Amino acid sequence: MEHSRIAVAGASGLIGSALVRSLRADGHEVVRLVRHEPRGEDEVRWDPERQTVDAAGLSGCDVVVNLAGAGVGDKRWTPEYKRLIRDSRVLGTATLAEAAAALPEPPRVFVNGSAIGYYGDTGDRITDESAPPGDGFLPSVCEEWEEAAAPVREAGVRTVFVRTGLVVASGGGAWGRLFPLFKAGLGGRLGDGRQYWSYIALHDEVAAIRHLIDRADLSGPFNLTAPDPLTNQEITEAMGRVLHRPTPFPVPAAVLRAVLGEMAGDVLGSQRVVPRRLLESGFAFAFPGIEDTIRAAE
């Protein structure tokens, strides 16, 4: 890709910050959408809750990447926090989509965050992008999240949805909480351990987003997960091997429900999601296996 001007919302998050570093390292001009008063030319003010954005700051952007949203695993799912999870995604996406669509020269591609939570609990069924949405809170959020991008898609802008799995990184996200537990010898399978976890290395997540930005023939939903999902038991054993720590103590489902509340259903739920469309597009994973993925994240 030639050097481009790229706007990134959610640029301070785990994925967004890694994406910004990668793009800037290759000479792209990146503007970060921020909620505070801009402190430099590389910042653009927006307020997703109030649905406002400095549209002038988006002017000239070839690409808009929206990864903004309150962390699903950051807090217990109270009614208030569930509303924040939804609104931060749906209102933010609508704000950016409408602003981008209204630009005199709209971007050539709009990449919007989403998640494999779209599919709900799929058990041991192999699930690709052709599957319908599931039932429950996260599937409904993901559906609304993607639908909120309609204004920019209807304006003729190529629109991509990145349905991300569990990102393996030590610096944040769900896995950022697992590493200290395992290193302390406190790691163990969750529940019966038979639920599938669809993971992806942070390196591959960023590389996949860039692949989708670059390829003018790609649009619609893409699962960003490693090619071979594993069960929680298999991942637990791999963490123990790589970190040289025993993993003898399972965490009972009842304990998870007591600690996590409603979110426990998603930790104990099973998602065997595969990146069919990404592989068909020719994307090559640098870390397709779990052990290399864990080592890369340490």
Q: Where are the domains of the chain?
A: 5-169+200-225+272-287
The residue assigned the tokens 């898609």 is 153
Query: Which of helix, strand or coil describes residue 203?
Result: helix
- The total of other beta-carbon atoms located within 10 Å of residue 218's CB is 18
Contact of 108 with 5, CB cutoff 8 Å = no
Query: Which of helix, strand or coil describes residue 234?
Result: helix
Q: What is the identity of the amino acid at 240?
A: G
- Give the HSE-up count for residue 242: Cα atoms under 13 Å, Cβ half-sphere: 19
Measure the CA–CA gap between 206 and 212, rounded to whole angstroms.
10
What the block records as the tokens of 48 is: 């997703």
Q: Which among 20, 7, 4 has a CA at the least distance from the CA of 58?
A: 7
Element (H, E) at 137: helix 137-147
- Give the HSE-up count for residue 155: Cα atoms under 13 Å, Cβ half-sphere: 21
Contact of 159 with 110, CB cutoff 8 Å = yes
Element (H, E) at 196: strand 196-197
145-181 tens-digit pLDDT = 999 999 999 999 999 999 999 999 998 877 887 888 8
Residue 101 backbone zone (phi > 0: left; psi -120 to 50: alpha; other: beta): alpha
Element (H, E) at 222: strand 220-224
Interacting residues of 52 by C-beta distance below 8 A, sequence separation 6+: 46, 95
Instruction: Tell me the chain's radius of gyration from C-alpha atoms.
Output: 19
Q: Looking at the structure, give the CATH architecture of the domain made up of residues 5-169+200-225+272-287.
A: 3-Layer(aba) Sandwich (3.40)
Long-range contacts formed by 32-37: CB under 8 A, 24+ apart: 32/7, 32/8, 33/7, 33/8, 33/9, 33/57, 33/68, 33/96
Measure the CA–CA gap between 219 and 216, rounded to whole angstroms.
8
Give pLDDT tens digits along the chain (298 positions): 678 999 999 999 999 999 999 999 999 999 999 999 888 889 999 999 899 999 999 999 999 999 999 888 777 888 999 999 999 999 999 999 999 999 999 999 999 999 999 999 999 999 999 999 999 999 999 999 999 999 999 999 999 999 999 999 998 877 887 888 888 887 888 888 899 999 999 999 999 999 999 999 999 999 999 999 999 999 999 999 999 998 877 877 676 666 566 666 666 689 999 999 999 999 999 999 999 999 999 7
Indicate if the alpha-carbon torsion angle 128, 132, 134, 140 is positive or negative: positive
Q: Which among 88, 86, 278 has a CA at the least distance from the CA of 198?
A: 278
Measure the CA–CA gap between 232 and 237, rounded to whole angstroms.
9
290-297 and 202-214 helices cross at what angle (nearest 10)?
A: 100
